[in-house]
């Protein structure tokens, strides 16, 4: 149990640190972005929003930094992330609207990618020097290009040229979102290209990581012992080699989540997919600071949460962590 306690403490600290960074970023910015913004949008920003902006950047001179910090946390716990001044609606509402799309798309695509990549890595790592090795350079190529660039190519080929899938959006706009099969079908149809992009770009990392772990683990003594025992090939490969190789693979899954999520955010823009990334970039170009911060906060929370799950899975799979912590 000590393992889980330690991890919980760690995530609490990480959460606190991320939120604190979020608090300080606008305050550390040089110059006076708010005045510049107000000047640029003469009369278009409501007085309320100006106050909120001043509070956000710590320009309110009547309060100390500590008071601001306390207020920041109080607002956080109340779920108050301010008002988006471009959309003039609470940031929380925008986030609540966008988050499910990102989690659905990125979550499912990442799980598919991880599963395929890990299985392929097991096979390639176990039988080195076979024709399957050709997969390595191909997938390496796709892993080195940015998500958004592959998104451009995928759209050009499958949407513009072949017309198989829509080039943008997340569902057929003529439909009203509901839980019918028809609507779900539309969501899947629109989500195919973005998901494909994520899978193709990220799968190579999993293949390569798992392959390398399989190669490393395969020369461990207990794999030789398993072969010496005359166990069936499948048992040795899965129960001994892959079962141990998956552990570091899970750790790196946790660690690369932030990277993957970061990459997919920009890809959402290319597809005009109405997730968090789309909102973040829209907010960034509109200098909608409250929304930017809200997006960052939610993304960080989501990644933290996924990390917790990956860690938990690790703890379940590795008996050693359960004991020593």
Partner 1 sequence: MAAELVTTETTQVGTEQTAPTGTKRRFLWMRNTKALTGFGILAFFALIAAIGPWIAPYDPDERSSDLLQPPSWEHWMGTTHLGQDVMSQVILGTRSVLLIAFVAGFLATFIGVVVGITAGYVGGFGDEGLSALSNVFLVIPQLPLIIIIAGMLPSAGGLTVAVVIAITGWAWGARVLRAQTLSLRKRDFVEAARANGERTWRLILAEILPNLTAMIAAGFVGTVSFAVLSQITLSFIGITPTDTWNWGTVLYWAQAQLALQRGAWWWYMFPGLCIALVGISLTLINFGIDEFVNPRLRSTGLNAKTLRRRGIRPRIGFTPVVHEAKEDRA
Partner 2 sequence: MSAQPVSPAAPHARGRGADPVLEIRNLSVDYGYDEPTHVLRQVSLTLNRGEVLGLAGESGCGKSTLAYAATRLLPPPGLITGGEVIFTDRDGTQRDILTLDDRALRASRWQDLAIVFQGAMNSLNPVHRIGRQIADAITAHRPGMKKPEALEKAAELLDLVGINPDRARDYPHQLSGGMRQRVMIAMALALDPQVLIMDEPTTALDVVMQRQIVEQIADLRERLGFSVVFITHDVSLLIEIADRIAIMYAGEIVEDAAALDVYRAPRHPYADGLLHSFPPLRGPRRELGGIPGSPPDLASLPTGCPFRDRCAHAFDACAAIQPELVPSAVPGDDPARRVACHLHTPALVEAAGFSPRLLPPALTHPAP
The contact set with partner 1 (CB under 8 A) reads 10, 13-14, 17-18, 21, 25-26, 29-31, 33, 36, 127-129, 133, 140-141, 143-146, 148-149, 152-153, 155-156, 160, 167, 212, 215-216, 218-219, 221, 223-224, 226-228, 236, 254-255, 257-259, 261-263, 265-266, 269-270, 280-281, 284-285, 287, 289, 292-293, 295-296, 299-300, 303-304, 307
Residue among 61 and 221 whose Cβ is closer to partner 2 = 221
Residue among 120 and 257 whose Cβ is closer to partner 1 = 257
Cβ(283)–Cβ(94) below 8 Å:
no
| 229 lines the binding site for partner 2 (CB under 8 A) | yes
Can you read off the two tokens belonging to residue 105? 């798309």
Least separation in angstroms between CB 287 and partner 1: 7
Distance in angstroms (rounded) separating the CA atoms of residues 265 and 269: 7
| 54 lines the binding site for partner 2 (CB under 8 A) | no
> Binds 240, which of partner 2, partner 1, none (CB < 5 to 8 A, cut-off by type)?
partner 2
Q: Which of residues 245-304 bind partner 2 (CB under 8 A)?
A: 247
Least separation in angstroms between CB 182 and partner 2: 46
Distance in angstroms (rounded) separating the CA atoms of residues 26 and 294: 13
Contacts of 128 (CB under 8 A, 6+ apart): 215
Least separation in angstroms between CB 175 and partner 1: 24
Whose structure tokens read 């609606």? 89
> Binds 31, which of partner 1, partner 2, none (CB < 5 to 8 A, cut-off by type)?
partner 1
> Binds 185, which of partner 2, partner 1, none (CB < 5 to 8 A, cut-off by type)?
none
Q: Which of residues 126-165 bind partner 2 (CB under 8 A)?
A: none
Kindly state the DSSP code that residue 90 receives in the 8-state scheme: E
Q: Which of residues 168-227 bind partner 2 (CB under 8 A)?
A: 219-222, 224-227
**Long-range Cβ contacts of 300-304 (<8 Å, 24+ apart):** 300/18, 300/22, 301/15, 302/99, 302/102, 302/103, 302/261, 303/257, 303/258, 303/261, 304/11, 304/14, 304/15, 304/18
Cβ(5)–Cβ(324) below 8 Å:
no
User: Residues 28, 162, 176, 228: which binds partner 2 (CB under 8 A)?
Assistant: 228
Least separation in angstroms between CB 62 and partner 1: 23
> Binds 318, which of partner 2, partner 1, none (CB < 5 to 8 A, cut-off by type)?
partner 2
Contacts of 290 (CB under 8 A, 6+ apart): 52, 53, 56, 81, 82, 83, 84, 85, 91
- Give the phi and the psi of residue 207 in degrees, each rounded to 5: -60, -50
| 234 lines the binding site for partner 2 (CB under 8 A) | no
User: 89 in helix, strand or coil?
Assistant: strand
Distance in angstroms (rounded) separating the CA atoms of residues 194 and 153: 11
Residue among 269 and 321 whose Cβ is closer to partner 2 = 321
Kindly state the DSSP code that residue 131 receives in the 8-state scheme: G
Task: Give the residue from 27, 264, 245, 23 showing the smallest Cα distance to 125.
Answer: 245
> Binds 184, which of partner 2, partner 1, none (CB < 5 to 8 A, cut-off by type)?
none
Least separation in angstroms between CB 240 and partner 2: 6
For binding to partner 2 (CB under 8 A), which residues are involved? 219-222, 224-233, 235, 239-240, 243-244, 247, 317-320, 323-324
């Amino acid at each position: 149990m000590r393992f889980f306690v330690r991890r919980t403490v760690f995530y609490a600290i990480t959460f606190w640190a991320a939120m604190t960074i979020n608090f300080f970023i606008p305050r550390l910015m040089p110059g006076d972005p708010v005045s510049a913004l107000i000047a640029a949008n003469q009369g278009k920003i409501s007085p309320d929003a100006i106050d909120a902006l001043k509070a956000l950047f710590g320009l309110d001179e009547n309060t100390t930094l500590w008071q601001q910090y306390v207020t920041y946390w109080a607002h956080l716990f109340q779920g108050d992330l301010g008002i988006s001044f471009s959309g003039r609606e609470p940031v929380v509402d925008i986030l609540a609207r966008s988050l499910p799309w990102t989690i659905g798309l990125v979550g499912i695509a990442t799980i598919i990618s991880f599963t395929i990549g890990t299985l392929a890595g097991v096979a390639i790592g176990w039988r080195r020097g076979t024709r399957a090795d050709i997969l390595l350079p191909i997938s390496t190529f796709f892993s080195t290009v940015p998500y958004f660039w592959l998104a451009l190519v995928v759209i050009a080929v499958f949407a513009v040229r072949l017309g198989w899938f829509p080039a943008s959006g997340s569902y057929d706009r003529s439909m009203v979102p509901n839980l019918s099969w028809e609507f779900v079908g539309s969501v899947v149809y629109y989500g195919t290209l973005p998901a494909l992009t994520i899978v193709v770009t990220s799968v190579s990392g999993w293949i390569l990581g798992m392959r390398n772990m399989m190669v490393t683990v395969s020369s461990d003594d207990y794999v030789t012992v398993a072969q010496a025992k005359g166990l069936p090939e499948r048992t040795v490969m899965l129960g001994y080699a892959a079962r141990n190789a998956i552990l570091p693979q899970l750790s790196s899954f946790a660690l690369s989540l932030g990277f993957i999520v970061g990459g997919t955010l920009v890809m959402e823009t290319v597809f005009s997919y109405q997730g968090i990334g789309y909102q973040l970039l829209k907010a960034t170009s509109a200098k909608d600071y409250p929304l930017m911060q809200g997006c960052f906060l939610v993304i960080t929370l989501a990644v933290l949460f996924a990390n917790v799950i990956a860690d938990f899975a690790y703890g379940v799979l590795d008996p050693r962590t359960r004991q020593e912590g």
